[in-house]
A and B are shown apart, each in its own frame.
Chain A
Amino acid sequence: MKMKKAFTVLTFVLICCLLMVACSGEEDENSASGDSKTVKFMHLWPEGSSAQHYKVVNQIIEDFETENEGIDIELEVLSNEQYKEKIKVQSTSNELPDVGMTWAAGYMEPFVDGNMFASLDDILEEDNLSEEFVAGTTDAFSIDDTAYGLPLELNISSIYYNKAIFDEYGLEEPTTLDEFNQVVDTLNENDVIPVALGNRDAWTGSMWYMYLANRLGGDEDVLTSAIDRSGSFEDPALLKAAEHLQGLVNDNSFVSGFNGLADQEAKSMFMESQAAMYLIATWDLPNYTTNEDVPQEFRDSVGYFPFPQVDGSGDFNSYVGGPGVGLFVSENSEVKEEAKTFVSYFVKEWGERAVTEVGIIPATKIDGEALDLPELYVEVLDDLNNASNITLYADVQMSASAAQVHLDMIQALFGGEITPEEFVKTHEETLANEE
């Protein structure tokens, strides 16, 4: 008897499920035919891990909805990896959210080629929005002079260090690689990990390589020209950079087992004062300035210095960095106009609130002096204003598949599995093949 009952229950459950399907179908139709339009917005700043980002986004959405009656924003929040995976699946079915986040250059190229992103030139022209952006930031999101994304962040990387540790061993900010090596030696003699590096996420190691190449290249941006094929990856500076990198590894500059550590773990080692230095971009600034969850004592003891000169060459005002994420509008969106209105509104509001409330540097111009900002922050802004060059992250510049090769090669180079010659040769072949 019981089995029969179970069977009835099951049938009932199934019918319920089917009803739910039917109902949810109707709901969709209602919202489409109703007065208000719904813009789907997907971002990657979840509450748990980027609380301030998350909060500000919600405030902006709320304000937008009040000011623009008839437009509802439907929000979906995912963490970084999940976001990338979902966007990928959605794009195969032509089902991108109306507004979403994208990375610059190499990452967005296939989407633009596949006609998935709408041109945002019209909103850039409207109310002189383009004037609001720091020069060059919109270029990274443009293909063939058309903007397909509007940047939200601007990052430059520097070496952050623990002043308390430096003071303890009488160390000073190094300005040349030789001085840097001496700092490393002193720290190693005293059993302090010199540099925290989580090279399982190989983009972190890539920043070290890029800086070496940048310094050795002098005034020329050899790496960028190697990637855009106006130059070659077999440039002597790029080879020399690989050699220097292995030199740093051999000097035990980095935490042991870095190739198996994630960036998160490395960051935590720096933040727990186990490692003295950490090369990271300005998106991490809140952790060293405003984030209340980080002990004040630690925040006070963080300083930074620009990447040292190498072999007497290099410009301190030349940086590795670039705009982080930007907003796109889906070309197939049924509410494209509303989506664009939202993007335009968002970018403007974000620019104002990002500095004061989130603690990151937006891609729009800010008046540092008018705002009450932490000292470290003001210094970084100052650097940014004096920047002579910003070399965009190599894995962002390259196409997705070349970037994968680059990241694998970085791990191999750090791990001593390949020679500097093999390193440049593989890059050259990969990039040449894509031409």
Chain B
Amino acid sequence: MHRVGYILLYICLGVVGVFQIFPIIWLVSFSLKTNQEIFAGNPFALPTDPKWENYLKVFEGGIGTYFWNSIWITVVATILTILIASMATFAITRMKWKLSSFVLGIIMIGLMIPIHSALIPLYNMFLNVNLIDNPVSIVVTYMTYNLPITVMILLGFYTTLPREIEEAAIIDGSSIHRLFFKIILPLSAPIMSTTVIINMIYNWNEFVFVNTFISSDKFKTLTVGIQNFIGQYMTDWGAIGATLVISVLPIIIAFIFFSDKIMEGLSASAVKG
């Protein structure tokens, strides 16, 4: 009885897994197909004669700079967001002050703003401080627009931390900075790694802000760079597929291989202090 239940359970989990992993397999197969196969062939069939030159085509387009920009912008913005969000969440949930729920409310408004409402005012502001076509505007915007969701995710965790932790620390004569950096932050490592992943995904895939704030090729990121392949006159679907694969590969590799490392790293730095 027990056994059958488990098998069924695994089958269900497996089916869900297939649905979720399907897009990657589809995307890779799509990127190696000819237009003919994409439009006339069986949509589930694998490419008969893989067109690796689709990838060559994309690399010839000089995608390297975009790649590097995507990486450093993602990393810097993610680190900044997590740090600032953790500090803010700590102050809101663990410290005692009257305006905490008001401030939380303001932060939550950030969740609700449709980015296209903010786009034009933001552009104007950055223009006035001469930050248009400057990656700083992108980093700062990513950081800020991810703060609300990061705070929200951390919030659920921080509120469930037992009060005894602070009490013990304070009685030991530890300062608040020590309490935050050495006890609370390390404790939040699991949830922090969740927010790291989520921030990375958002930053990596963001499109609208880069497209509007950045003009020079040297500062553009992958998401904007790959738009070069999607245009109005001629459609090379295989090349579009190849570009998409190239643009998602790093984040998938980072996720599959490094998410454990991120978590370990955070926990380890916790232990060593």
Check if B40 sits within 8 Å of A89, measured CB to CB. no
Q: Indicate if A433 sits at the interface (CB-CB under 8 A).
A: no
Task: Tell me which residues across on chain B come within 8 A of A4, comparing CB atoms.
Answer: 181
Interface size band for B: 35 or more
Which residue of the partner chain, among A17, A25, A77, contacts B130 with CB atoms under 8 Å? Answer: A25
CB contacts under 8 Å to B, within A1-43, are 1-4, 6, 10, 13, 17-18, 20-21, 24-25, 28, 40, 42
Cα A90 to Cα B132 with chains together (Å): 11
Q: Are A271 and B61 within 8 A (Cβ)?
A: no
A24 to B181, CA, bound (A): 35
Q: How far is the CB of B80 from chain A (nearest CB, A)?
A: 7
How far is it, in angstroms, between the C-alpha of A13 and the C-alpha of B143 when the chains are bound?
14
Does B123 count as interface, using CB distance less than 8 angstroms? yes
Quick check: B231 and A85 within 8 Å, CB to CB? no
What per-residue 1/0 map shows which CB atoms of B214-247 lie under 8 Å from chain A?
0111000000100111111111110100010000
CB–CB A50/B234 < 8 A: yes
Is residue B71 contacting chain A, with contact meaning CB distance below 8 A? Answer: no
Pairwise interchain contact A80-B215, C-beta atoms closer than 8 A: no
Minimum C-beta distance from A427 to chain B (A): 26
Candidate in A48, A53, A78 with the most chain B CB atoms within 10 angstroms: A48
Main SS class of interface, B: helix
Give chain A's interface residue range (CB within 8 Å of chain B).
Answer: 35 or more
Q: How far is the CB of B64 from the nearest CB of chain A, in Å? A: 15
Instruction: Say whether A269 contacts B39, CB under 8 Å.
Output: yes
Contact call A79/B234, Cβ cutoff below 8 A: no
| A1-B40 contact, Cβ under 8 Å, with A13-B76, A17-B136, A272-B35 | no
Instruction: Say which residue of B123, B228, B243 sits within 8 Å of A89 (CB atoms).
Output: B123
B246 to chain A, nearest CB (A): 13
Q: How far is the CB of A13 from chain B (nearest CB, A)?
A: 6
- The docked-state distance in angstroms from the alpha carbon of A42 to that of B134 is 18
For A268, give its contact among B61, B79, B227, B235 (CB under 8 Å): B235
Contacts of A128 in B (CB 8 A): none
Looking at the complex, which of A207-215, A286-294, A338-346, A396-404 is the stretch in contact with chain B?
Answer: A286-294
Q: In the assembly, what is the distance between CA of A393 and CA of B130, in Å?
A: 40
| B134 in contact with A21 (CB, 8 Å) | yes
Kindly state whether residue A146 has any CB partner on chain B within 8 Å: no
With contacts A78-B211, A79-B227, A85-B212 taken as known, whether A49 is within 8 angstroms of B131 at the C-beta atoms is no
Known contacts A78-B227, A272-B36; decide if A264 and B120 are in contact (CB<8 Å). no
* Contact of A95 with B by CB under 8 A: yes
Interface residues of B in 104-131 (CB under 8 A from A): 119-120, 123-124, 127, 130-131
A127 vs B237: C-alpha distance when bound (angstroms): 44
Q: Are A79 and B231 in contact (CB under 8 A)?
A: yes
Q: Which residues of A contact B (CB under 8 A)?
A: 1-4, 6, 10, 13, 17-18, 20-21, 24-25, 28, 40, 42, 45-51, 53, 76-80, 82, 85-86, 89-90, 92-93, 95, 263-264, 267-269, 271-274, 283-284, 286-287, 291, 293
Report the 4 A-B pairs with minimum CB-CB distance, sorted nearest first: A49-B231, A48-B229, A48-B228, A46-B228
Other than the known A17-B136, A93-B123, what 7 A-B pairs have Cβ atoms closer than 8 Å? A20-B134, A24-B133, A50-B232, A50-B234, A85-B212, A93-B124, A267-B235
